[in-house]
Structure 1
């Protein structure tokens, strides 16, 4: 536990949002000085990364809150960092930093020599939007975070103004606007039903409204977030939108934007709708997302499109953990989300290196890259095996956690999901190894005989992410325990509510688990033992929380 008083450091929650915005403004002023822009962006994200790690450290004592402008909840906007949001923040900022380094020597205009002075500022605004979405304790502020992402994403996805990019950007914006309209409608319904958009207060009041109304609101939010997370059948837009963007943009989109949607699902399903009856529906959707997504990947002969379909497929694994609804299911979902952000981004950066060397992302045009650059073959293979879930990598650990959580429940649907997860993992391995064979081993009609020059920043950033994916497996024990603590906080609800709302505003919010303060068990990493359904004691310090409870049953 931290030895410092977290309440004294609540101001650090504003840094991940304010610093990128300020740096973006400064970068715009330096539009004619591209090197200065890069330095400003790099310094800003390094500062945010250090701050995010410190926030994660502070959150070990319980949720940390900051009332923006001094207006306390539920009147004002509150930023909240519990273990879930802190872990997502650390991983997302690290990935953003790596992609920024990767982009330093890229030409986002696709060789058209167009001015791209807006790239660094827009990238920083994107980072601020992601951080805002992870830290907010207010549904309307979450909507604002999504809109910041939408504006920044459209600028980034259309850089270069080619026909393909304008088309894909238009599709992306139309789909996102429809999703935002659904979200805004759901927000209006929430306010009409419970008179607030503060998530902690919604959690208290949701049990007092008509169950049919509550379920309608839940469905509306799930549809809005499902579009942003590319959950089947709301995922058709993604494989056509992401591959046309520049490699750094595609990588950060794949790693972060869909995960913001998944985070919103985890947050609302756990904090607001913990007792709702849509878990089985979520599990069915998770199964369809996994299987249909990976079947699409198997049929692709372009590496970026293949990775886009695997991105859709593995969103299903995260949704699976949410649908299980237990502490162990949520733990596995949180861990798998962190793992997937790093691994999927690494694979898209590798695909950018392959395009740099081979001049194409088509697997039928690439060939014999193993002879040209053996190191690239290894750099591709490590995250590919990790995504497929080959032991002892982090993908394997997350999937075993999901399997164990479902096996503990043991319903027919749980066993069906276990079978679907295994089939999806095998097909993922097949699709990625087939791509490796075509690009690195087999010859092609346009065989490459010598390696093109690859800027060192691209190689360095890619290797850094691949190394992080390996480190995630090495440190799986403490990271999994941290995720378990986050799952406990989500299921208990009381630590989050107590941290956000003043005493007078808490009312009589009900915990969804039976109290058992005496339990203090530490989970083990899934392959080394069965994760405990009991929860360790978690104490909120900002403000003091009520007695902890335990969770684990749906």
Structure 2
């Protein structure tokens, strides 16, 4: 049973190796890329079912017992995240059939894409802080290559900003690991959590928590460490932007949730109050940045920042319902945001631009695309009965229960501004008259073949259906989120699973 933990990592690695052997055939690479993603999805689904039925799964690589060896751990949160990563991998690999040109494919898009998926799944499953750093670096290297692939000026400018700030966060993370190891003598997360309970130097513990907050907060793009994201996410091809938008910042959010529910839980009055302030500022600055933009993917990039604030809100309130709301929100947001970037890419491809003053009339020329965008946009804004409504409702309710009225007011206000900016895209791109004299001719200029339509529209339809499904069947998703939150708020489950019942 525990061997299930290796498959979400091994399958992308094996797919990458096979893709390298098929370097000269782009058609084979595209087919193998989708096949590898589907296999990863099967493995992730099996892992999630096993964790829910049997509890936390632990694999000590090489039979070295924790905390001395490399440990892989799958609780409900990590298995949910692996599942989401696999679903997005399938959607984007199908979409890439059309949206990744031969030149970029020739330079290794498909192997590097699966290297990125391996890094993401590794980060979710590792039980060791140094290995988390390693997986972050795997993600950073592969994402930098994907962002720069093609060598266009805007891409290179965005890639330099992206990699520079992320390297700084990696340096802070590595420094935090060094200080932590000097203080604790271990980097296994379960062992660190156990030793922090009896650690008497509160100043060092507080300093460590702030170092990890800075390192993971930069990866998650929280205020004021988010500037690299809107400066870079709109520059690569839409397939790359979509996988980045869906997954990369969520790895940072996952790391923050893991750190502040398992490791730094002794001084929650300080750490979680600070997280609540950061959450509010992240919401506000992100949505204000989105309102000031005039290009679809730039608006969506700032909204990534804004929505990270909602995920931190549940972590900061630190109750079962609040944390369940954060997990529900992550599930909703990964699906919706990936889909919005995929749809934005279709608009740019067909009309030659994503600027709002250069597009229009899409409701008449592309009704299916209009419906798909409307579903995802309204879900992002929190309109019932879509997934975003129930995610926000849970967070608002938890904030009221905790009497955190300031963050509740902030969240509601940001939701209204999110709705405004989504309706701005809708009215400018879909509802207003096209700025060109013959919009049908403009739309048909980059006409798609039947295969290309399937490649571009099938993943967007799939993700829109998931968004509706999460909203219509919110109860099972909420129950899963509550189970995951209960595990997180009882760290003894994690510690005992990794170290054994007699660890103390």
**TM-score normalised per structure 1:** 0.87
Q: Does 1:377 align with 2:367?
A: no
Match of 2:461 among 455, 460, 463: 463
Q: Which residue of 1 aligns with 2:477?
A: 479
Give the secondary structure class of the aligned counterpart of 2:186: coil
Q: Does 1:399 align with 2:389?
A: no
- Alpha-carbon distance in 2 for matches of 1:114, 1:494: 47
Once the two structures are superposed, residues 78-135 of structure 1 have per-residue CA deviations (whole angstroms, 9 ceiling, x without a partner) of 11111111111111110111011000112357xxx46634000000000000000011
- Alpha-carbon distance in 2 for matches of 1:22, 1:445: 48
Q: Which residue of 1 aligns with 2:416?
A: 426
Q: Which residue of 1 aligns with 2:141?
A: 151
Give the secondary structure class of the aligned counterpart of 1:278: helix
Q: Shift in Å at residue 444 of structure 1? A: 4.3
Give the secondary structure class of the aligned counterpart of 1:238: coil
Q: Which residue of 2 aligns with 1:168?
A: 158
- Alpha-carbon distance in 1 for matches of 2:264, 2:89: 31
Structure 1: runs of 5 or more not aligned = 1-8, 508-554
Give the secondary structure class of the aligned counterpart of 2:58: strand
Q: Which residue of 2 aligns with 1:265?
A: 256
Is the CA contact 1:108–1:159 (under 8 Å) kept in the aligned structure 2? no
Deviating more after overlay: 54-63 vs 223-232: 54-63
Q: Which residue of 1 aligns with 2:41?
A: 49
- Alpha-carbon distance in 2 for matches of 1:232, 1:144: 25
- Alpha-carbon distance in 1 for matches of 2:38, 2:306: 32
- Alpha-carbon distance in 1 for matches of 2:105, 2:485: 46
Is the CA contact 1:262–1:319 (under 8 Å) kept in the aligned structure 2? yes
Q: Does 1:100 align with 2:100?
A: no
Match of 2:15 among 2, 5, 23: 23
Q: Does 1:13 align with 2:11?
A: no
Q: Shift in Å at residue 70 of structure 1? A: 1.6
Q: Which residue of 2 aligns with 1:550?
A: none
Is the CA contact 1:34–1:117 (under 8 Å) kept in the aligned structure 2? no
* Aligned-residue CA RMSD (Å): 1.2
Q: Shift in Å at residue 483 of structure 1? A: 1.1
Q: Does 1:327 align with 2:320?
A: yes
Is the CA contact 1:298–1:431 (under 8 Å) kept in the aligned structure 2? yes
Match of 1:242 among 217, 233, 240: 233
Q: Does 1:201 align with 2:201?
A: no
- Alpha-carbon distance in 2 for matches of 1:19, 1:117: 22
- Alpha-carbon distance in 1 for matches of 2:179, 2:323: 27
Q: Which residue of 2 aligns with 1:548?
A: none
- Alpha-carbon distance in 1 for matches of 2:501, 2:322: 31
Once the two structures are superposed, residues 365-407 of structure 1 have per-residue CA deviations (whole angstroms, 9 ceiling, x without a partner) of 0011112111111110000000000012111111111111111
Is the CA contact 1:274–1:491 (under 8 Å) kept in the aligned structure 2? no
- Alpha-carbon distance in 2 for matches of 1:18, 1:115: 22
How many residue pairs match? The answer is 492
Match of 1:141 among 131, 135, 145: 131
- Alpha-carbon distance in 2 for matches of 1:237, 1:182: 16
Q: Which residue of 1 aligns with 2:206?
A: 215
Once the two structures are superposed, residues 129-183 of structure 1 have per-residue CA deviations (whole angstroms, 9 ceiling, x without a partner) of 0000011111111111100000000110011101111111111111111000000
Match of 1:182 among 161, 172, 175: 172
- Alpha-carbon distance in 2 for matches of 1:416, 1:346: 31
- Larger helix proportion, structure 1 or 2? 2
Q: Which residue of 1 aligns with 2:380?
A: 387
Is the CA contact 1:32–1:117 (under 8 Å) kept in the aligned structure 2? no
Q: Does 1:251 align with 2:242?
A: yes
Q: Shift in Å at residue 473 of structure 1? A: 1.4
Q: Where does structure 1 differ by over 3 angstroms across 4 or more consecutive aligned residues?
A: 444-447
What are the within-5 Å matches in structure 2 for residues 537-548 of structure 1? none
Q: Shift in Å at residue 54 of structure 1? A: 1.2
Q: Shift in Å at residue 51 of structure 1? A: 1.2
- Alpha-carbon distance in 2 for matches of 1:319, 1:81: 22
